[in-house]
């Protein structure tokens, strides 16, 4: 495949994003649902691809009809490039998670993010429990599906499009390529459902007096609904950490991302080599682990190393977020554009059952466990975990900004601290990456038992320990600092 084809594929991805943004600006329904431009662009690319437009073009006789049937409006070569991009871009997304971030001490993380962590682990482990029970009791015996389907809720909902797309090569290697398509589709349902349900819960909570920051429902401005800034708003994309005369700051940050991913490659090659030397003849598990969770660990190692030698300030969190956002937008469009509608249609009832079960679990935990675990600002803090458990971290941040637009609660700090402990394991972390190979090698029951124990433990930790605390001095201290430094109004993290 020529470099020109790869370049054209990237240009077309950017074009789909641009059209998606125009749709967000012009279409009221996309504004009300806060749908990202990447989702709109991805759906458009899917419609123009072989699954929809290609089937229509297949009825045309001649060479043009064959071209359309094989690749839709884009051609098979473009789709071949797009199908490989998610597996590459997800490593960029995860490598940037902790680059430029302040890594606080264990005590600060535990005291402020403890309740948040209990809730987050309950969401993630509960999705495995529900999914695996559904796979064992219904999907396998009635629909003949592999027990690996039990991991799809956590991969699609908690992991989001990035993780779902990153797991496609794993499903292919294990002989169940439909799993990747179903995971991406579930991630789409989760992202849209997370925003729609989350906004609905926020409006209900405000009207019934369950919020502590925003106490009345206000219409969002036209600019906010369109996803734009007003002309009088000033936001910076990041801080320059090096002089452009020596190296463009964005180039430097891309280089840091590359180093983090390379560290991840070394780690992955290392653990796979150890497995081959020691126990690969008996059971092979690490051979199926994807790169992206190790890229995340590579980012942590790089940040800690730079902090140690006094150069940690060279990485700016704002610029890293922009790199992460670009990679995630392109990933979502490419993943949705290459999804197999046939695979979803062939497994429509298992797909529906998994989506409904995941949504019911998440709504139950948000409305029952969260207010009994987090003593103060339960909705402001819990809605972020709900959003993340339905889609991606960005979904949680969107919902938190709706219910706490000026950052007056400890929601953003607690959520960020919790991510430091949570992300390395769930939502695309090590447990997510290894769950499908575990089921493939040992069956569903070892993972089901361990996740059930973890689910019960996190529920007990949240309800019986954190839920018994009437107040949290660390939260009170943080609120006092917010009052002193911002006069009662802090900018969101």
On the question of pLDDT at 39 being above 70, the answer is yes
Q: What is the mean pLDDT of residues 342-347?
A: 86
Give the residue with greater pLDDT, 282 vs 363. Answer: 363
| Distance in angstroms (rounded) separating the CA atoms of residues 67 and 167 | 29
Q: How many CB atoms lie within 10 A of CB 486?
A: 13
By CB atoms closer than 10 A (0-12, 13-18, 19+), residue 137 is exposed
| Distance in angstroms (rounded) separating the CA atoms of residues 403 and 399 | 6
Q: Residue 30 has which token pair?
A: 């996309």
**328 sits in which H/E element:** helix 317-337
DSSP for 50-74? TTTHHHHHTTS-SHHHHHHHHHTTT
Q: What is the mean pLDDT of residues 20-45?
A: 85
487 dihedral zone (left: phi>0; alpha: psi -120 to 50; beta): left
Most confident of 22-26, 146-150, 231-235, 339-343: 146-150
Residue with tokens 């990202």: 36
Q: What is the mean pLDDT of residues 206-216?
A: 80
Q: For the chain, what percentages of helix, strand and coil (3-state, to nearest 5) are there?
A: 75, 0, 25
CA distance readout (Å), 141 to 138, 146, 217, 346:
6, 10, 47, 16
Q: What is the pTM of this model?
A: 0.79
What sign does the CA torsion over 452, 455, 458, 460 have? negative
Helix ranges (DSSP H) in 27-36: 28-32
| Distance in angstroms (rounded) separating the CA atoms of residues 220 and 32 | 9
Q: How many CB atoms lie within 10 A of CB 437?
A: 22
On the question of pLDDT at 460 being above 90, the answer is yes
Helix ranges (DSSP H) in 238-283: 249-278
Q: Residue 139 has which token pair?
A: 């999907």
On the question of pLDDT at 159 being above 80, the answer is yes
Q: What is the radius of gyration, based on Cα positions, of the chain? A: 23
Q: Residue 290 has which token pair?
A: 């994807």
pLDDT at 127: 97
Give the residue with greater pLDDT, 428 vs 366. Answer: 366
62: CB partners within 8 A, 6+ apart: none
On the question of pLDDT at 64 being above 60, the answer is no
On the question of pLDDT at 383 being above 70, the answer is yes
Which of 207-211, 266-270, 392-396 has the lowest average pLDDT? Answer: 392-396
pLDDT mean across residues, the chain: 84
281: CB partners within 8 A, 6+ apart: none
| Distance in angstroms (rounded) separating the CA atoms of residues 76 and 29 | 32
Q: Residue 58 has which token pair?
A: 């297949």
250: CB partners within 8 A, 6+ apart: 319, 323
Give the tens place of pLDDT for each residue, 407-431.
Answer: 677 777 787 778 777 877 888 788 9
| Distance in angstroms (rounded) separating the CA atoms of residues 19 and 101 | 33
| Distance in angstroms (rounded) separating the CA atoms of residues 277 and 284 | 11
On the question of pLDDT at 472 being above 70, the answer is no
Q: What is the mean pLDDT of residues 443-463?
A: 96
Q: What is the mean pLDDT of residues 312-317?
A: 92
Nearest to 465 by CA among 106, 211, 210, 111: 111
On the question of pLDDT at 488 being above 50, the answer is no
* Percentage of the chain modeled with pLDDT above 70: 88
On the question of pLDDT at 459 being above 70, the answer is yes
CA distance readout (Å), 224 to 24, 34, 35, 478:
11, 9, 12, 28
pLDDT at 473: 59
């Amino acid at each position: 495949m020529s470099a020109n084809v790869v370049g054209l594929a990237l240009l077309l991805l950017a074009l789909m994003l641009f059209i998606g943004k125009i749709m967000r600006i012009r279409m009221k329904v996309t504004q009300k649902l806060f749908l990202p431009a990447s989702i709109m662009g991805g759906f458009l690319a899917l419609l123009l691809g072989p699954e929809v437009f290609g089937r229509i073009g297949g009825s045309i006789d001649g060479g043009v009809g064959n071209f359309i049937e094989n690749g839709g409006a884009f051609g098979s070569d473009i789709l071949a490039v797009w199908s490989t991009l998610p597996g590459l871009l997800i490593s960029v997304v995860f490598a940037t998670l902790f680059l430029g971030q302040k890594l606080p001490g264990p005590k600060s993380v535990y005291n402020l993010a403890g309740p948040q962590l209990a809730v987050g682990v309950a969401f993630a482990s509960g999705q495995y429990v529900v999914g695996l029970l559904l796979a064992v009791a219904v999907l396998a015996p009635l629909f003949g599906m592999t027990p690996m389907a039990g991991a799809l809720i956590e991969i699609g909902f908690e992991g989001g499009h990035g993780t779902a797309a990153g797991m496609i090569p794993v499903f292919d290697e294990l002989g169940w390529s439909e799993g990747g398509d179903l995971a991406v589709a579930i991630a789409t349902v989760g992202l849209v459902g997370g925003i729609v349900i989350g906004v609905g819960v926020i409006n209900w909570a405000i009207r019934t007096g369950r919020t502590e920051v925003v106490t009345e429902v206000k219409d969002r401005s036209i600019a906010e609904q369109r996803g734009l800034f007003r002309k009088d708003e000033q936001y910076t994309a990041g801080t320059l950490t090096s002089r452009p005369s020596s190296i463009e700051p964005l180039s430097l940050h891309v280089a840091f991302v590359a180093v983090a991913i390379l560290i991840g490659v070394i780690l992955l090659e290392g653990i796979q080599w150890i497995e081959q030397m020691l126990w690969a003849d008996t059971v092979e598990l690490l051979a199926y682990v994807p790169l992206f969770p190790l890229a995340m660990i590579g980012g942590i190692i790089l940040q800690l190393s730079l902090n140690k030698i006094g150069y940690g300030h060279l990485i700016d969190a704002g610029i890293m977020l922009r790199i992460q956002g670009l990679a995630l937008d392109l990933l979502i469009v490419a993943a949705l554009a290459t999804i197999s509608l046939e695979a979803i249609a062939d497994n429509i009832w298992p797909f529906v059952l998994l989506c409904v079960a995941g949504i019911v679990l998440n709504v139950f935990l948000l409305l029952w466990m969260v207010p009994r675990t987090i003593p103060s600002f339960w909705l402001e803090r819990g809605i972020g975990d709900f959003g993340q458990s339905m889609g991606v971290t960005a979904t949680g941040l969107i919902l938190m900004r709706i219910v706490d637009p000026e950052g007056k609660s400890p929601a953003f700090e607690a959520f960020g601290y919790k991510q430091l402990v949570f992300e390395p394991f769930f939502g695309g972390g090590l447990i997510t990456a290894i769950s499908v190979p575990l089921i493939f090698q040992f069956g569903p029951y070892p993972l089901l038992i361990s996740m059930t124990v973890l689910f019960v433990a996190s529920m007990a930790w949240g309800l019986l320990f954190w839920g018994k605390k009437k107040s949290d001095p660390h939260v009170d201290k943080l609120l006092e600092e917010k009052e002193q430094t911002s006069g009662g109004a802090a900018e969101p993290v």
